[in-house]
Structure 1
């Protein structure tokens, strides 16, 4: 009898099954982590925009709109990484998302 090298069909099916189970466990966690990172990125961007609102207010003595901040070069985007739109309150200059 010859010594044949290689894998049997059963061994290949077993490896494919194990890889499939691992993917089923890992993929949902990656999706959840992405949502969490986008949320934290939005929180950080809100704090940065809030700081820019204060800087604009000190220089121009008025509460800016998002368009004024973007035109003056204080910010580069009016949306969070998760797609929500950032707004500035005209009353007190607080920053939040829509």
Structure 2
């Protein structure tokens, strides 16, 4: 599943899933993964504002500026391109 080799520093870490969300209410939230620092590279540049990603479908969801919905959560936009997830 993961593109990172199983080296000594990544041996105890769970594999990064294909689809992951930081929202605990999402079915794609995996709490065990968030115990470690995760990086997302989108179209060759590292992004720090990713809320959700899917490697196989090639998209990320990021906040649309300071816009929020009526419950106070940020509105997300979907960007398509090459997605790489990795442990830092």
State the TM-score, normalizing by the size of structure 1.
0.29
| Larger Rg belongs to | 1
State the TM-score, normalizing by the size of structure 2.
0.31
Higher strand share: 2
Greater RCO structure (CA 8 Å; 6+ sep): 2
Higher helix share: 1
